[in-house]
Amino acid sequence: MSKPSIDLLLNRDRPLTCLTCYDYLTARVMDQIPELDMILVGDSLGNVMLGYESTLRVTIDDMVHHTAAVGRAVKNCYLIADFPFLEAALELSTAVRSARRLVQEGGAQAVKIEGGERNLELISHLTEFDLPVFGHLGLTPQSVEGFGGYKIQAKTERTIKQLGRQARALEKSGISALILECIPAQVAANLTRILTVPTIGIGAGADCDGQVLVWQDMAGLNQGKTASFVRKWGDVGKYLQEAFTAYCGAVIAGEYPAEEETFSTAETLSDEEIREMLLSS
Ligand code: KIV
């Protein structure tokens, strides 16, 4: 396997697959899965890696740091990195520098930017310079304060129209794909038919061109409350608890480490000889 180009990637004749990732070892596991097309270093790292209540405190340095960790492992999947809160609102040259950091220091092949019309200038600029950009509309978590909480978006005529306008403007500005988060399935399905760029859904129904989930949610490491659209394919939290408990039990019982888990000296020495050596200088 080798890294796909954006065109090859997005023109698959099956639904696209994407998971979030934030660290080297998990990325190495993910990258060995031929059916996984994309890895997103999302700013959800604020919630699942750093313990913040929202994504608002995640910085560009956090994003570069985690993208680089993932980037060192990823050889096959397409790697996308998130722009954190208000990064796209900075002066154009500063925002461009941030995108460059995610690519040059992090190893990202594309950046994702939340929001619509307010980002058009930046998106056009980046895509003009051949950096693929993924858009993100619907329940964009960076707008949680503006939305008054994590609420399903595009449910009414006014907000459906607004979503359509923003999506069409993003498409015109040159985005490669559009993430749609927490919107009614019927709205996502119709928007997917209208747009020429692929849509990738998270809580947006089955008719998007692909799906993305936060891995800690779908694999059951997150033992807190997850959104109703999340399906769990594993119980990593339980497996880890079992392993941690078994380790503590083995240490307490004096059963770990066993002989085959210890090292020996270069030549056979008595305890007395070793004690003498340890005390001799
Ligand atoms: O930050 C993130 O992980 C995301 C995805 C959930 C789409 O934006």
Count of alpha carbons within 13 angstroms of residue 96, beta-carbon side: 12
> Partners of 200 in the beta sheet?
179, 210
- Domains: count for the chain: 2
Tell me, yes or no, whether 195 and 181 share the same domain. yes
In which element (H, E) is residue 126 found? helix 120-128
Q: Are residues 78 and 134 in the same domain?
A: yes
pLDDT tens-digit profile of 20-62?
999 999 999 999 999 999 999 999 999 999 999 999 999 999 9
pLDDT digits (tens, 9 = 90+) for 153-174: 999 999 999 999 999 999 999 9
| Percentage above 70 pLDDT, the chain | 99
Establish if 146 belongs to a structural domain.
yes
Kindly report the protein residue whose alpha carbon is nearest to atom 2 of ligand 1.
42
For residue 98, give every residue at least 6 positions away whose Cβ sits within 8 Å of its Cβ, in sequence order, or none. 60, 83, 87, 90
What is the pLDDT, as a whole number, of residue 7?
80
Per the CB < 8 A criterion, the answer to whether 210 and 199 are in contact is yes
Look at residue 69 and tell me if it is in a domain.
yes
- Residue 181 appears among annotated catalytic residues: yes
The string of DSSP letters for 74-118 reads -SSSEEEEE--TTGGGS-HHHHHHHHHHHHHTT--SEEEEE-SGG
Give 203 Cα–ligand 1 centroid separation in angstroms: 11
Q: Say if 251 falls within a structural domain.
A: yes
Q: How far apart are CA 181 and CA 212, in angstroms?
A: 9
Distance from residue 120's CA to the centre of ligand 1 (Å): 20
Q: What range defines the domain where residue 256 resides? A: 240-278
- Give pLDDT, residue 111: 98
Is position 78 within any domain?
yes
- pLDDT at residue 1 tops 70: no
Instruction: Give mean pLDDT, residues 123-150.
Output: 96
The residue whose CA has the least distance to atom 3 of ligand 1 is 42
List pocket residues of ligand 1, CB cut-off 6 Å.
20, 40, 42-44, 82, 136, 179, 181, 202, 212, 214
Whether 171 and 274 map to the same domain: the answer is no
Please give the pLDDT value at position 223. Answer: 87
Q: Quick one: 27 and 150 in the same domain?
A: yes
- Asked if residue 3 has pLDDT above 90, the reply is no
Distance CA 141, CA 150 (A): 7
Q: Assign 6 a pLDDT band (cuts: 50, 70, 90).
A: confident
Residues 155 and 214 placed together within one structural domain of the fold: yes
Catalytic residue chosen out of the listed positions 91, 121, 145, 181: 181
Same domain, 201 and 172: yes
Atom of ligand 1 nearest to the CA of 181: 7
Q: What is the pTM assigned to this prediction?
A: 0.95
Q: Map tokens 């608002």 to a residue.
A: 56
Find the mean pLDDT for residues 73-90.
Answer: 97
Q: Are residues 139 and 68 in the same domain?
A: yes
For residue 10, name the pLDDT band (cuts at 50, 70, 90): confident
User: Which pLDDT belongs to residue 265?
Assistant: 95
Same domain, 28 and 166: yes
Asked if pLDDT for residue 253 goes beyond 90, the answer is: yes
Residue 89 and residue 73 share a domain = yes
Helices assigned H by DSSP within 174-224? 185-194, 215-218
Average pLDDT, the chain: 96
**Residue at 73 is within a domain:** yes
Please indicate, yes or no, if residue 259 is contained in any of the structural domains: yes
Same domain, 173 and 195: yes
Shared domain for 118 and 255, answered yes or no, is no
d(CA 90, CA 113): 13
- How far lies 62's CA from each of 55, 75, 131, in Å? 11, 22, 21
Cα(112) to ligand 1 centroid in Å equals 9
CATH of residue 84:
3.20.20.60
E strand map for the chain: 16-20, 38-41, 78-82, 110-114, 133-138, 177-181, 199-202, 210-213
pLDDT in tens, 115-127: 999 999 999 999 9
CA 140 – CA 114 distance, rounded (Å): 6
Flag whether pLDDT at 129 surpasses 90: yes
161 shares its domain with 176? yes
**Cβ partners under 8 Å of residue 89, min gap 6:** 95, 118
Cα(38) to centroid(ligand 1), Å: 12
Confidence grade of residue 9 (pLDDT, cut at 50, 70, 90) = confident
- Measured from the Cα of 82, ligand 1's closest atom is 1
Pocket test for ligand 1, best of 21, 44, 48, 59 (most atoms within 8 A of CB): 44
The verdict on residue 1 lying in a domain is: no
Lowest-confidence pick of 2-6, 106-110, 186-190: 2-6
- Which residue type sits at 39? I
